A and B are shown apart, each in its own frame.
Chain A
Amino acid sequence: MNNVRLLSVENLNVEFSTSDGVVHAVNDVSFSVHSGKTLGIVGESGSGKSVTASSILKLNTGITASTSGSILFNGKNILGVDDKAIRAIRGSEIAMIFQDPLSALNPYYTIGSQIIEAYKVHHKGVKKKEARKIALEMLHRVGIPNPEARIDEYPHQFSGGMRQRIVIATALINSPKLLIADEPTTALDVTVQAQILDLMKDIQRENGMAIILITHDLGVVAETCDDVAVMYGGRIVEKASVQELFVTPTHPYSFGLLGAVRSLDNSARGELQTIAGSPPSLLNLPSGCSFLPRCSYADASRQQCASFVPPLQNVLPTNSLSACHLRAEALNVLKIKEPS
């Protein structure tokens, strides 16, 4: 079941019209996800990663959002289907979980009724008792102790970690082929984070679903992902396997991100590396490479960087794709230089 291309996103653009102008949240983004694999989408706040994820379920439905490109899921173009068809996909073939488990559950209904609701919406005609049994099994599977006693409790009676387990149980009740997890562990304690990630990986191993994991935490990426897409200013700037990203990053922004990670190896070197400056406003993106103002490598190529948006290109000898005007050899040399 592995290595079937389940989802492929091509040339996705998402814009929001606001009173200040058009926000180009996602620009020309392409990636694909294979069954049984986990794709990490990494980036700072406002890099467009959550909007990209929401597009896959057509959740950016405000009057101000406009989406173009194509999102093929199992050969079907999601952007072309009508409301009814997308509802049939939501929660059944593609499930999504959100950042804050404390607010993702409806506080006015018991957790049981919410899981049962998620099951019954895609299994019309199933008896409530049957659905309840399935919900109990799922709660048991995600590690809620004593689910029979707790299924009729309300969300606020559970801890954050338990609530994220319940959210996962709700999302996975229909055995979706793809799970989109939008920063699923950001709001949790570090120890609980590891448990939740382990849980997701375990379930993936059992049922072979694909996962898109959106995060700003490179530790989480290293832990769980097979492939990574690094987003900056609404674009993918680097696509690589997780090993290659960490060993041979090919984009200056990726260097910067890795430099900003505190690990046991680099802690001895004193201060944490940061990337100077702040991410660009998606309202008026610079004409060339949007990372240029913060890039400490673009010397000789500065003219080119300022004029043209760099396309994603393979950087030999790696298998990575990088959107940078710097030549591959130069990148490999520069990688050794400490970012200033």
Chain B
Amino acid sequence: MSAKVGTPLFYSPLSYLRIALITFIARRLLFALVLLAAVSLFTYLLFALLPTDPAALTCGKNCKPELIEANRVRLGYDKPIHEQYFQFVKGIFTGRTYGTGDIAFTCPAPSLGYSFNQHECVSSLIGKTFPVTAFLSLGAFILWMLLGVGTGTLAALHRGKWQDRLTSVITSIGVSLPTFYVGLLVLFSVVIWLQWLPFPHYASPSENLHDFLTAMILPWITLAVLSAASYTRITRNGVLEAMNEDFVRFGVAKGLKNRTVIRKYVLRAALIPIVTIAGLDFAALLGGAIVTESVFSLPGMGRLAIRSVTDSDLPVLVGTTLVAAVFIVMANTIVDIIYGILDPRVRLK
């Protein structure tokens, strides 16, 4: 080699690529904030758009008009809608006090309003139910990613063999079954018929780990198996597509080990679309796995949301919707950022 390398081998770790990545992330975060502001506004418009009078819902059927009016003032529903929205947003940051004098009560920041049905601050209702949903989602997510990506890769690597065919049969069944059906099937067979597990009775993991696990295992499996089916398919197709890429052949021609080629070349390419879907699916779950929580009687955010709909509990409805929206927007942002890290072609455009 007759190369003349004149300059010293110096390169800054903070190259312009990294700067590009930082501005990329900053831009995404700013966009997420704007989006959240818009979502909160539209969600709050529920108060103005629904034909029900929120104040009238605060007490029972035989309520006196004076009491309704008193509650209207106390909860701030007498103000014009834009002022109500302003109070609502302010409450998120500073907390909110309803009424004056002895009957005054406060929902501390972040306040999302007060549920007149359940006589509790919305944020504390969400605070109580969210951990259940979070544990449910996280466990199911980890299970289905391992299961889906694992079997998908396996099926692709054994394309056309029995492993692949078996996977394709199982996933076809998996993607076509609805959650409530599988949930009930699992519940009936494992708990009632086989009696392998006691009837689920949720307890927080710090309180009673055994109850927590016995209550969670079936919902985890139900959610994981159903989602894993579609992830298996996406992974299989992604891996097969990636294996046909020229750069994968070039990687093999370099003399790399099969495992290295699959990890650095094939899976890297195949996982990028999966990250996008996984992020959004996970966020949607965090907003409340309504059906699963209902089938397995888990006191999560999904059930809180459903109850608020049937009870016309507007503040809870707005609160849960907003929290779910925050998760979706956050997940979108995180997915964008991860995408930018995973695929250099995205961040530099």
A residues adjacent to B (C-beta < 8 A): 57, 59, 63, 83, 87-92, 95-100, 103-109, 117-118, 121-122, 129, 132-133, 136-138, 140-141, 147-148, 151-154, 156-157, 167, 170-171, 206
CB contacts under 8 Å to A, within B1-23, are 1-5, 7, 9-11, 15, 17
Q: Which residues of B have CB within 8 Å of A122?
A: 255
For residue A101, which residue of chain B has the nearest CB?
B246
CB distance from B54 to the nearest CB of A (A): 52
Is B1 within 8 A of A137, CB to CB? yes
For residue A167, which residue of chain B has the nearest CB?
B250
Is B344 within 8 A of A107, CB to CB? yes
Q: Which residues of B have CB within 8 Å of A133?
A: 5, 9
Mask, B302-337, CB within 8 Å of A = 1, is 000000000000000000000000000000000000
Is A98 within 8 A of B249, CB to CB? yes
Q: When A108-B342, A156-B345 are in contact, do A148 and B3 touch as well, CB less than 8 Å?
A: no
Is A106 within 8 A of B251, CB to CB? yes
Is A132 within 8 A of B9, CB to CB? yes
User: Is the C-beta of B119 less than 8 angstroms from some C-beta in chain A?
Assistant: no
Is B247 within 8 A of A104, CB to CB? yes
Q: Which of B17, B250, B265, B269 is A98 in contact with, Cβ under 8 Å?
A: B250
Q: Which of B17, B246, B264, B342 is A104 in contact with, Cβ under 8 Å?
A: B246
From B4, B252, B265, name the one whose CB has the most chain A CB atoms within 10 angstroms.
B252
Mask, B222-262, CB within 8 Å of A = 1, is 00000000000000000000000111011111111110000
- Nearest 6 Cβ contacts at the A-B interface: A91-B255, A90-B255, A137-B3, A91-B254, A103-B246, A96-B253
Q: Please measure, in the bound complex, the distance between the C-alpha atom of A244 and the C-alpha atom of B25, giving whole angstroms.
A: 62
Q: When A137-B3, A141-B3 are in contact, do A90 and B246 touch as well, CB less than 8 Å?
A: no
Q: Which of B9, B246, B249 is A148 in contact with, Cβ under 8 Å?
A: B9
Q: Which residues of B have CB within 8 Å of A118?
A: 254-255
Q: Which residues of B have CB within 8 Å of A129?
A: 9
User: Is the C-beta of B343 less than 8 angstroms from some C-beta in chain A?
Assistant: yes
Q: Which residues of B have CB within 8 Å of A57?
A: 253
Q: Which residues of B have CB within 8 Å of A109?
A: 264
User: Is the C-beta of B49 less than 8 angstroms from some C-beta in chain A?
Assistant: no
Q: When A59-B249, A103-B246, A122-B255 are in contact, do A154 and B344 touch as well, CB less than 8 Å?
A: yes
Given contacts A83-B258, A106-B247, 9 further A-B contacts (CB under 8 A): A59-B249, A87-B255, A88-B255, A89-B255, A90-B253, A98-B246, A106-B250, A154-B348, A167-B250
CB distance from B245 to the nearest CB of A (A): 6
For residue B258, which residue of chain A has the nearest CB?
A83
Q: Which residues of A have CB within 8 Å of B17?
A: 152-153
Is A117 within 8 A of B15, CB to CB? no
For residue A141, which residue of chain B has the nearest CB?
B3
Q: Which residues of A have CB within 8 Å of B7?
A: 148
User: Is the C-beta of B268 less than 8 angstroms from some C-beta in chain A?
Assistant: yes
Q: Please measure, in the bound complex, the distance between the C-alpha atom of A153 and the C-alpha atom of B246, giving whole angstroms.
A: 20
CB distance from B337 to the nearest CB of A (A): 16
Q: Which residues of B have CB within 8 Å of A100?
A: 246
CB contacts under 8 Å to A, within B153-202, are 160-161
Is A107 within 8 A of B253, CB to CB? no
Q: Please measure, in the bound complex, the distance between the C-alpha atom of A154 and the C-alpha atom of B347, giving whole angstroms.
A: 11
